[in-house]
Amino acid sequence: MKTMPSPDNLLAFDALARAGSFTAAADLLDCHKSLVSARVKELERELGATLVLRSTRRMALTEAGERLRPHAARLRETMAQARMAVDQTQSDLAGPLTVSTTSSLAQYVLGPILSEMASVHPALRLSLQVNNRVQDPVADVLDFCLRSARSHKVGDESLAARLAGYASENLYASPAYLARHPPIRQPADLETHRLLVMEADQDQGLRLMRGELLLRQPIQAQLYLDHYPLRAELALSGHGITLLADYTVQRHLERGELARVLPDWHCDYWPIYLVHPFRTPLSRKYQTFIDFVLPRVAAALPDNRADQAGRASITR
């Protein structure tokens, strides 16, 4: 079985054919002439043919060397084009960028930001994939994922995770629902109300915090909903009380469509990360995306951690 010639050896031969001597070829390649000589000898061994006739005064190519010469030159040109192509992708602010996130983050946070970015950088082709399934940017061929720490593992060494901000979640209902039902002054009052929650919330109880007090409030739910947008829609329509991320409700609060339930009590909060394949150095397109998106995501996420600090005492 014949050995495939080494690209480095072919490039050394090309330099020798162009320069006419080992010394001049070494100058072209910025290396010692002994390295050029060794690589040409290795190429001859790989191909099983004499390529160069050597003497103390001159060097000449054999018939095999002359036939190989244009192929070696094309390899050099291909390598140069490859370098130019990679350099262009590193410096260009154009072309495709594919981003994935959850439905609520897409609707309330990332979608408007990407729309703004498309206007500022029209040469970019931005693609937003909305998927509540945990995705791996490497395996799923994505440039970026905007995910919460609750739904995305970021410890993989092949991934880089940048903190974008914190999301918080609290209880909300429509004023119409609250007007039709008994007032809610303390967490225990929730037991007589209709709650639109996930099944896990029923099993574990609602996690409520006030100062240093952490409470697991038992609830009796009639309808379990794992679909976040549907829970929000039903709450807006007056069908019950539900947990919503604070970044999703601001406009509804301003319009009087939703009201905070038990405002002295806080529910959960969690970090949001911008996750991408670990690459260094970052291309200009990647770095521009990060610099544009991160501060805007942080501004869109109300940081209520100070309100929710303290977990020393647990009651039920």
pLDDT tens digit string along 182-237? 999 999 999 888 888 776 666 677 889 988 888 888 877 767 777 777 888 999 99
Instruction: Dihedral sign for Cα 261, 266, 267, 269, please.
Output: positive
State yes or no: pLDDT of 311 exceeds 50.
Answer: no
Residue type for 311, please? Answer: R
The SS3 assignment for 223 reads strand
How far is Cα 256 from Cα 269, in angstroms, rounded to an integer? 24
Backbone phi and psi for residue 278, each to the nearest 5 degrees, phi listed first: -70, 115
Backbone phi and psi for residue 38, each to the nearest 5 degrees, phi listed first: -65, -40
Give the residue among 186, 204, 183 at the shortest CA–CA distance from 268. Answer: 204
- DSSP at 5: P
State yes or no: pLDDT of 295 exceeds 60.
Answer: yes
Q: Do 241 and 172 contact (CB within 8 A), yes or no?
A: yes
Query: Rounded mean pLDDT of the chain?
Result: 85
Look at residue 315 in the predicted model and tell me its pLDDT: 40
Task: Quote the pTM value.
Answer: 0.66
Residue type for 54, please? Answer: R
Look at residue 198 in the predicted model and tell me its pLDDT: 73
Look at residue 293 in the predicted model and tell me its pLDDT: 96
Average pLDDT over residues 279-293: 88
State yes or no: pLDDT of 156 exceeds 80.
Answer: no
Peptide bond into 218 cis (omega under 30): no
State yes or no: pLDDT of 17 exceeds 70.
Answer: yes
Give the residue among 29, 48, 51, 26 at the shortest CA–CA distance from 40. Answer: 51
Q: Do 23 and 47 contact (CB within 8 A), yes or no?
A: no
State the pLDDT confidence band at 310, using cuts at 50, 70 and 90: very low
Q: Do 262 and 208 contact (CB within 8 A), yes or no?
A: yes
Average pLDDT over residues 141-146: 91
Q: Do 236 and 258 contact (CB within 8 A), yes or no?
A: yes
State yes or no: pLDDT of 142 exceeds 60.
Answer: yes
48-74 pLDDT tens trace: 999 999 876 788 899 999 999 999 989
The SS3 assignment for 125 reads strand
Average pLDDT over residues 81-90: 69
Token reading at 255: 């319009």
How far is Cα 45 from Cα 5, in angstroms, rounded to an integer? 9
| Complete edge-to-edge strand list for the sheet that includes strand 206-210 | 206-210, 213-217, 313-315
How far is Cα 244 from Cα 229, in angstroms, rounded to an integer? 9
Token reading at 140: 């799923």
Please name the residues in contact with 312: beta carbons below 8 A apart, sequence gap of 6 or more.
Answer: 212, 213, 214
Give the CA dihedral 242, 243, 246, 251, nearest 10 degrees: -20
Token reading at 62: 């054999």
Look at residue 203 in the predicted model and tell me its pLDDT: 66
Residue type for 53, please? Answer: L
Token reading at 312: 């020393």
Look at residue 312 in the predicted model and tell me its pLDDT: 35
State yes or no: pLDDT of 110 exceeds 90.
Answer: yes
Q: Do 90 and 283 contact (CB within 8 A), yes or no?
A: yes
Look at residue 316 in the predicted model and tell me its pLDDT: 37
State yes or no: pLDDT of 91 exceeds 70.
Answer: no
Token reading at 97: 């960028």
